[in-house]
Amino acid sequence: MHQGTKQLFVQTGSLVAGFMVWVLISSLMPFIKEDINLSSSQIAWATAVPVILGSLLRVPIGFWANRYGARILFTISFIILLLPIAILSYANSIFMLILGGFMLGIGGAVFSIGVTSLPKYYPKAKQGFINGIYGAGNIGTAITSFSAPVLANAFGWRTTIKIFLIVVLIFAIINFLFGDKKENKVKSSASEVFKQVYKNPKIWFLSLFYFITFGSFVAFTIYLPSFLVNHFELGKVDAGLRTAGFIALATIFRPIGGWLSDKVNPFLILMVVFFSLTFAGFLLAFTPSLPIYSFGCLLVAFFAGIGNGAIFKLVPLYFSKQAGIVNGIVSAMGGLGGFFPPIILTILFNFTGHYAIGFMSLSEFSLASLVIVVWLYYQDKLDISAKIVNHAVDGICVTDINGIIQSINPAFTKITGYSSEEVIGKTPSVLQSGEHGTDFYKNMWTNLKTNGFWEGYIWNKRKNNVIYKEWLTITAIKDDAGETKNYVGMFNEEKEHPKEN
């Protein structure tokens, strides 16, 4: 079996196990609160607190995954997870729930390992789909949301938690035995890598996008069981099944989002995602009936899943050399996006008696993200255009309608010897060699203004006074109204005709 395929199975399975453990408290909360007296605020904190470490730890784990490899990181993480699971199985107070839940966050933090490790085994054209398949490991939250209430009904919630000790131990052994011992590792300083990326605005835009998409996934996952029981008075198992359905849908569409991003510009996909999440948040804000509320949740699941896959196509595209720490930062922000909504929703409900403002926040943040995505899409196109100009072998000079030079490319400097500081604000007459009379330039401008185009041979002079022959093409750039706004000159040197002045 190809090593990449083998590691895809091992690491995706490990993520499933990690996410199964990560949502233990939220999945079992309807049972836990029957044994431990908890207020609504304490319930919100107990279910949200695993997200804290599960988010913050993703940054160093992403960096360590690059340095030490997935095998070591997964094995150690699962061994450590045995402790909080044991604590929770004996919990009898909010303090023990918070302590165990905080350490339980390691189960969510392991996400950074695979998204850093797996792209090493595949070409860029497939990385979106591969990361999407790996990200589908969040189906583990659905498995727990579905199975934990059923097991708790049969054996009690404490015994149910102990069962997960076996799951975690099995995957610690699997990673130790089958993890790649020869994975390519990147030795670099964390501070140096962070300095390379933190000033790049794209990392913070991607973090915001993942804060919305994955954050909404996590928030709904940990909040839906209690919300459906308390607000719609559903049975605990029924609420668990509906939550599992939400998670399953989001999970299925994550690899689809990655696959689509391999085929289509990811920014176009994110435009659709954030437009749809804006509508979904608006719909949920009115606290509708259960069928309409279910439809809104399904919209969130569908488009959050696609968005999650698309975002992790962009990370290796922009940060291939710093993927470890960037994956950690972006995924950490996504986890934190799941921490705040349950607490905010609870606080707002206690103040107002409804959830409208909380769900409307999802709509507004999604709308802001949509605006940023549109801007990035067109900015990306401008960047590509600029790179084409800067890497062109022909000299390029842009002037305004009066012939004042506005910009030049590096090839212009290489051919003429003039830097941008020396010619911007002047006219192309700085290049005149004296080989042509006034009639030549008069005819040039007449043709240019009449036809919007001129081309031909011309003798020009470099900065060092060497006269050379070039083929020059000048084009008028017009706006939608047909008015000329700029002139662009492109030229290449005819090297067999140099002249000394």
Res. 342 pLDDT band, cuts 50 70 90: low
Q: Domain range spanning residue 282?
A: 3-389
- Domain match, 215 and 358 both: yes
Nearest Cα neighbor of 78 from 47, 36, 52, 109 is: 109
> What whole-number distance in Å separates Cα of residue 339 and Cα of residue 102?
12
Residue 497 has pLDDT above 60, yes or no: no
Q: Which pLDDT belongs to residue 190?
A: 61
> What whole-number distance in Å separates Cα of residue 376 and Cα of residue 200?
13
What is the amino acid identity at position 475? T
Residue 84 has pLDDT above 90, yes or no: yes
Residue 501 has pLDDT above 60, yes or no: no
Cα-Cα-Cα-Cα dihedral sign, residues 305, 306, 309, 311? negative
Q: Regarding beta strands 484-500 and 395-400, do their DSSP bridges make them parallel or antiparallel, or are they unpaired?
A: antiparallel
Out of 389, 423, 453, a domain closes at 389
- Domain match, 322 and 433 both: no
- Domain match, 98 and 144 both: yes
When pLDDT is averaged across residues 468-477 and rounded to a whole number, the result is 91
Q: Which pLDDT belongs to residue 146?
A: 82
* Helix segments in 232-318, DSSP class H: 236-263, 266-284, 290-318
pLDDT for 96-113, tens place per residue? 999 999 999 999 889 889
Q: Residues 6 or more apart from 199 whose CB is under 8 A from it?
A: none
Total structural domains within the chain: 2
Question: Which DSSP state fits 494?
Answer: E
Nearest Cα neighbor of 61 from 21, 17, 108, 24 is: 108
Residue 365 has pLDDT above 70, yes or no: yes
Out of 370, 389, 408, a domain closes at 389
> What whole-number distance in Å separates Cα of residue 334 and Cα of residue 410?
41
pTM across the whole model:
0.66
> What whole-number distance in Å separates Cα of residue 319 and Cα of residue 329?
12
> What whole-number distance in Å separates Cα of residue 471 and Cα of residue 455?
7
What is the amino acid identity at position 415? I
Q: Which pLDDT belongs to residue 288?
A: 67
Position with higher pLDDT, 408 vs 217: 408
- Domain match, 18 and 132 both: yes
Residue 72 has pLDDT above 90, yes or no: yes
Out of 389, 424, 447, a domain closes at 389
Number of other residues whose CB lies within 10 A of the CB of residue 383: 11
- Domain match, 269 and 309 both: yes
Q: Residue 437's domain is classified under what CATH number? A: 3.30.450.20
Helix (H) or strand (E) holding 233: none
CA-based diameter of the chain, in Å?
Answer: 99
- Domain match, 385 and 421 both: no
- Highest mean pLDDT: which range of 208-217, 316-325, 355-364: 208-217
When pLDDT is averaged across residues 387-405 and rounded to a whole number, the result is 85
Q: Which pLDDT belongs to residue 17?
A: 96
> What whole-number distance in Å separates Cα of residue 287 and Cα of residue 299?
15
- Domain match, 165 and 308 both: yes
Q: Regarding beta strands 405-408 and 484-500, do their DSSP bridges make them parallel or antiparallel, or are they unpaired?
A: unpaired
Which stretch of 114-118, 163-167, 331-335, 442-446 has the lowest confidence by average pLDDT? Answer: 331-335
- Domain match, 373 and 437 both: no
Q: Residue 29's domain is classified under what CATH number? A: 1.20.1250.20
Alpha-carbon distances of 230 from 4, 233, 236, 332, rounded to whole Å:
45, 5, 10, 30
pLDDT, averaged across the chain:
86
- Domain match, 37 and 176 both: yes
- Domain match, 349 and 421 both: no
